Every structure is written in structure tokens, then in C-alpha cells.
């Protein structure tokens, strides 16, 4: 999924996954397996932090979960409570100092934090801290949350969290570990997913339910918007930090692309939603063709839905090379173009002399799609029609998805007909926003759609740059 995207630069990259477990003799190993199944959400670095009730132990490193954690490393962390994180950098550079969970000591003791999302008021908060002499050790917005929590406070512990979290604007799903407690927290709009499961009574928390499945835990519920769930020796309790309830703004792109199809996010199965997207797409943009071909893996589910609704048989015209890794990631345009064929190859016998409908989840820069269309033409496809299971992405995301700059987003420069010509397609159809929103189960106002329609639910008042706090 995402390594494919890295190599060709064709789509946004993932941006962090969380896993935590409270009170299990195999907590660290479970966290390792949980992170393994969340690897699609971030491949730059990973880390696990554990506690035995007095010390916090952590291991973080650059690379993927399978490379970082050996048996010896896992044994060295062995404790009954653990949180873990996989990262792709949406703020700050890709470096070990920014790898999570971040671990700090403050007046009340050690604290570790794992964060998925982006704060839109991080710059302002950080400047205020720095003006008062605070020293930041990382360049990520996650450290700002830490500084807010560490402010002097003599009152009840819940109030410490409420006072800190109320100051944050934007997207954050968090796992926080102290010596005695684990907290699972979601921002007031619940932008990013976070769910709670039970492993024979042991609480487990994960970004996606596929990580619950892998450790044998049963899905129980989502952490609610604005909720702080505390796990301790006394059991589970929760409280809410916002002044008043807010309308959710779930990232609908989780359903379109990010989450794994076997996961349940925002209360429903991702595969089921993608099937509906494909069916809606077939109704909105019918076409006469011989075969439906998915772009693996992200287009698989929508292509199946398209095939069912249209009656056009599905076939596998592209084969994916699963072994193309990060070694090949190059930032240059030239490398992106050459990467297309390296990652996906065409089965000429499937597409030759056929009218082909290719189904994908999104068009970002257009570079990758153009390369794939060229491969299909070279293989002898008679007609090439492209169907995309969401509307054109024309606006940047400030809530944790690393889209390219607006100038690089092809839909911010060209209309659909111009994109069709640019990609050398016989026809091109994007699912409408109405079609997208009618394929998910919650009321449409409960989803963020800003990258499609420019309606930012949390105002973005400061200029956001990924590397804004990098120095030197
Ligand atoms: S702008 Fe798009 S990608 Fe970002 S949170 Fe909203 S729906 Fe998701």
C-alpha cells in the first residue's frame, strides 16, 4: 500500500499508528504484533514504551517494525503495560529524535506520548513556550502536548488533562503512559480513528481494529470525540475535556484509502464502505467495457463493487511487486516516473485488445496514473477508462495527511477534462462528494471533506510547513 506510494510519489503517505495494552504478561509482544499490523500507517520509525509501575522503558528506532524489534529488544522491555507507535512524519523531520513514543520526565514523574494527527495551532503554542524559556528536544507537534501536560498544577489529575487538551486545535488521537496509568484520548472532532478492544478482559487500544484482531482481542467500542479514557489498576474510567460537545469530523479519506480493508473505523468495516464507493461510482459514471481492472491494493475493493454494479467482469491486469522497499524512494520527479513500472507491471494477455476500466482510490499528482496508462497502452489495451472512488483532491490537508503542496495537486490546477487529456484516457470519472458521503453510515456532517471541498472544520490560522521547526 504505502511503500508503493512512496516509490512513485503518487499519493499521500500514511502518518502514524498507535497500539496500547494495559495489564498483560505479554504486553510488549502483543504491542509488537499490533504495530506489525499497523505498519501501513507509517514506515519511517517505530517504538515501544512499557512500564512495570515504577520505571518507563523505551526503544525507538528508524525503520520498520520487523527490522527494529528483535527478541532481545522485546525481552528487555518486558513489562505488563505498553504503548507503541509507527510513524510517518507529518510534522518535523524523519529522524530518531522525532520517533515515538516520546519519553519525558517532569515534576510528576516520567510520561510517554504517542500521537496520530496534526495540531493546527502548534506554532503559536510552541512560540509561547519558547518565549518563556522552554526547551524543545524534538521538532514534532507532539512535544507541545507534553509541555502543556507538564505545566505546574496542584489540583486533581483529570483537570491537568482537561486544561492541557482544551488548548489544542486540530487532530490528535493519543496514547499516554505514566508509571501507573495508560490514557487513550481523541480530539474533540475525532478526526483520526482510535478504538478499544478486550483481550479476555485486558484492555487493548489501537488505531484500527485490524491490530485488535492480530492479538486476539475483540472490538468493544471507539474512543469518543473529546474523551479521555483512563486505564489503571482500578479499572477503566473516562471523562471528557471539551467545554461542550462538538460535531465529529472523521477523516473520510481513512475509508477511501488509508485504513486497512479488514479494519473497522468510525463504526464500520472499511472493505464494505469501499465496495459501496465502487457501486456508486458505477452508477454515476457508467461505461461500456470488457474488463474492470483494480490498481492493487488500494483500488481492489472499489473495483469489486464497480464490477458487481456494472456487470463488467473483474480481472487482474496489474501485478504488484511486493518487494520494492524504501531503498528505492527518491524525491526527484524522474525517480517517480521510473518507479511506476518497478512497482506495478501489466499482464499484457489480460488487457490486449480490451476496453479496460481501471479503478483507483485517488489521483494526487497525476504522475503515477499517467505512467500506468502508458503501460496499459504499450500492452495493447484498446480503450482505457479510469474511475476514481472519491472526488478530485484539490485542497491540502492540515489534519495529519501529507498531501503534496496545492501546486502539485493536479486537481487544483486542472479540471476533469484537462486531467483526462493529461493522463491520455478515453474517459475519466470521479465519484461525487454526494456519492462518497452516501456510502458511509454516519450523517454527512460528521465527516471532514476539506481536501475535496475546502471546508476546513477547524480553522487553520497559521501557515503550516512540515519542517517549520527544523533548524540548522
Ligand atoms: S482534509 Fe481530507 S485527508 Fe485531511 S482530515 Fe479532512 S478528509 Fe481527511
Taken in order 460, 461, 464, 470, the sign of the CA dihedral is: negative
Report the distance separating Cα 408 and Cα 394, nearest Å.
10
pLDDT for the residue 340: 64
**CB-CB neighbours of 377 under 10 Å:** 14
The grid coordinates listed for 115 are 500521537
CA of 395 to the centre of ligand 1 (A): 9
Residue 401 CA to ligand 1 centre (angstroms): 7
Q: Indicate if the pLDDT at residue 249 is higher than 90.
A: yes
Pairing between β-strand 81-87 and β-strand 17-22 as defined by DSSP bridges: antiparallel
C-alpha cell recorded at residue 327:
531503498
Q: What's residue 3's pLDDT?
A: 30
The answer to whether the CB of 397 is under 6 A from ligand 1 is yes
The predicted-structure confidence for 392-414, as pLDDT tens digits, reads as follows 999 999 998 887 788 889 999 99
Do the domains at 2-258 and 272-440 have one common CATH topology?
A: no
Predicted pLDDT at 338: 52
> Quick one: 2-258 is in which CATH superfamily?
Aminohydrolase, N-terminal nucleophile (Ntn) domain (3.60.20.10)
Q: Is the pLDDT of residue 186 over 90?
A: yes
What is the architecture, at CATH level 2, of domain 272-440?
3-Layer(aba) Sandwich (3.40)
Q: Which atom of ligand 1 is nearest to the CA of 450?
A: 1
pTM: 0.92
Per-chain mean pLDDT for the chain:
91
Helix or strand or coil: residue 134?
A: coil
Cβ 251 under 6 angstroms from ligand 1: yes
Q: Is the CB of 401 under 6 A from ligand 1?
A: yes
pLDDT band at residue 462 using 50, 70 and 90 as cut-offs:
confident
Query: Which helix (H) or strand (E) element contains residue 58?
Result: strand 56-62
At 24-33, the pLDDT tens digits run: 999 999 999 9
Is 195's pLDDT higher than 50?
A: yes
Per DSSP, the three-state class of 315 is coil
Among 26, 176, 177, residue whose Cα is nearest residue 116: 176
Sign of torsion, CA 56 53 113 79? positive
419-431 pLDDT, tens digit per residue, is: 999 999 999 999 9
CA dist 297 and 365 (Å) reads: 19
More confident residue, 323 or 410: 410
Q: What percent of the chain has pLDDT over 90?
A: 82
Give the N- to C-terminal CA distance of the chain in Å, as an integer.
Answer: 34
For the residues 192-210, what does the mean pLDDT come to?
A: 98
Q: Answer yes or no: 451 catalytic.
A: no
Q: What is the mean pLDDT of residues 204-223?
A: 98
Residue 134, pLDDT above cutoff 80? yes
Taking the C-alpha atoms of residue 356 and residue 338, their distance in angstroms, rounded to an integer, is 23
Q: Is the pLDDT of residue 336 over 80?
A: no
The ligand 1 atom nearest the CA atom of 395 = 1
CA of 51 to the centre of ligand 1 (A): 34
Residue 202 or residue 13, greater confidence: 202
pLDDT for residue 330 is more than 60: no
343: pLDDT confidence band, cut at 50, 70 and 90? Answer: confident
7 pLDDT above the threshold of 80: no
For 350-396, what is each residue's pLDDT tens digit? 999 999 999 999 999 998 899 999 999 999 999 999 999 999 999 99
**What is the pLDDT, as a whole number, of residue 15?**
77
In the chain, where the domains are located: 2-258, 272-440
Q: What's the rounded Cα separation, in Å, for the pair 401 and 16? A: 10
User: Which of the listed residues 41, 257, 451 should we mutate to test ligand 1's pocket, taking the one with most ligand atoms within 8 A of CB?
Assistant: 451
pLDDT reported for residue 6? 35
Query: Strands 355-360 and 291-294: what pairing?
Result: parallel
The answer, yes or no, to whether any atom of ligand 1 lies below 6 A from the CB of 448, is yes
The pLDDT of residue 406: 84
Amino acid at each position: 500500500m504505502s511503500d508503493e506510494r512512496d516509490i512513485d510519489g503518487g499519493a499521500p503517505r500514511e502518518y502514524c499508528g498507535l497500539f496500547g495494552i494495559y495489564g498483560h504478561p505479554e504486553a510488549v509482544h502483543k504491542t509488537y504484533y499490533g504495530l506489525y499490523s499497523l505498519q501501513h500507517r507509517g514506515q519511517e520509525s517505530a517504538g515501544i514504551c512499557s512500564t512495570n509501575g515504577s520505571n518507563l522503558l523505551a526503544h525507538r528506532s528508524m525503520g520498520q517494525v520487523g527490522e527494529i524489534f528483535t527478541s532481545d529488544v522485546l525481552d528487555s522491555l518486558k513489562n505488563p503495560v505498553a504503548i507503541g507507535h509507527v510513524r510517518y512524519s507529518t510534522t518535523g523531520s524523519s529522524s530518531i529524535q522525532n520517533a515515538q513514543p516520546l519519553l519525558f520526565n517532569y515534576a510528576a514523574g516520567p510520561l510517554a506520548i504517542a500521537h496520530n494527527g496534526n495540531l493546527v495551532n502548534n506554532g503559536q503554542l510552541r512560540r509561547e513556550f519558547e518565549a518563556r524559556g522552554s526547551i524543545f528536544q524534538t521538532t514534532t507537534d507532539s512535544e507541545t502536548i507534553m509541555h502543556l501536560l507538564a505545566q505546574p498544577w496542584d489540583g486533581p489529575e483529570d483537570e491537568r488533562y482537561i486544561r492541557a487538551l482544551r488548548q489544542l486545535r486540530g487532530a490528535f488521537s493519543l496514547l499516554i503512559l505514566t508509571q501507573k496509568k495508560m490514557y487513550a484520548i481523541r480530539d474533540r472532532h475525532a478526526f483520526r480513528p482510535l478504538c478499544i478492544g478486550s483481550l479476555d478482559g485486558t484492555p487493548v487500544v489501537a488505531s484500527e481494529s485490524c491490530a485488535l484482531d492480530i492479538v486476539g482481542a475483540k472490538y468493544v467500542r471507539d474512543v469518543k470525540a473529546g474523551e479521555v479514557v483512563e486505564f489503571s489498576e482500578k479499572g477503566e474510567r473516562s471523562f471528557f475535556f471539551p467545554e461542550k460537545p462538538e460535531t465529529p469530523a472523521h477523516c473520510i479519506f481513512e475509508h477511501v484509502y488509508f485504513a486497512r480493508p479488514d479494519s473497522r473505523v468510525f463504526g464500520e468495516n472499511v472493505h464494505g464502505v469501499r465496495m459501496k464507493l465502487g457501486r456508486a461510482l458505477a452508477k454515476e459514471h457508467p461505461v461500456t467495457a470488457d474488463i474492470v481492472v483494480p490498481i492493487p491494493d488500494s483500488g481492489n475493493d472499489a473495483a469489486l463493487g464497480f464490477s458487481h454494479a456494472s456487470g463488467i467482469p473483474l480481472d487482474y491486469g496489474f501485478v504488484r511487486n511486493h518487494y520494492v522497499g524504501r531503498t528505492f524512494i527518491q524525491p526527484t520527479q524522474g525517480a517517480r516516473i521510473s518507479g511506476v513500472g518497478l512497482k506495478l507491471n501489466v499482464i499484457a494477455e489480460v488487457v490486449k485488445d480490451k476496453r479496460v476500466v481501471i479503478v483507483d482510490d485517488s489521483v494526487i499528482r497525476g504522475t503515477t496514473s499517467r505512467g500506468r496508462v502508458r503501460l496499459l497502452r504499450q500492452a495493447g489495451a484498446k480503450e482505457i477508462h479510469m474511475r476514481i472512488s472519491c472526488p478530485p483532491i484539490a485542497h491540502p490537508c492540515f489534519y495529519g495527511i501529507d498531501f503534496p503542496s496545492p501546486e502539485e495537486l493536479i486537481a487544483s490546477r486542472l479540471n476533469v477534462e484537462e486531467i483526462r487529456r493529461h493522463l491520455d484516457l478515453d474517459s475519466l470519472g470521479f465519484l461525487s462528494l454526494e456519492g462518497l458521503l452516501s456510502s458511509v453510515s454516519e450523517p454527512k456532517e460528521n465527516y471532514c471533506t476539506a481536501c475535496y471541498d475546502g471546508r476546513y472544520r477547524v480553522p487553520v490560522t497559521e501557515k503550516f510547513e512540515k519542517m517549520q521547526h527544523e533548524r540548522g
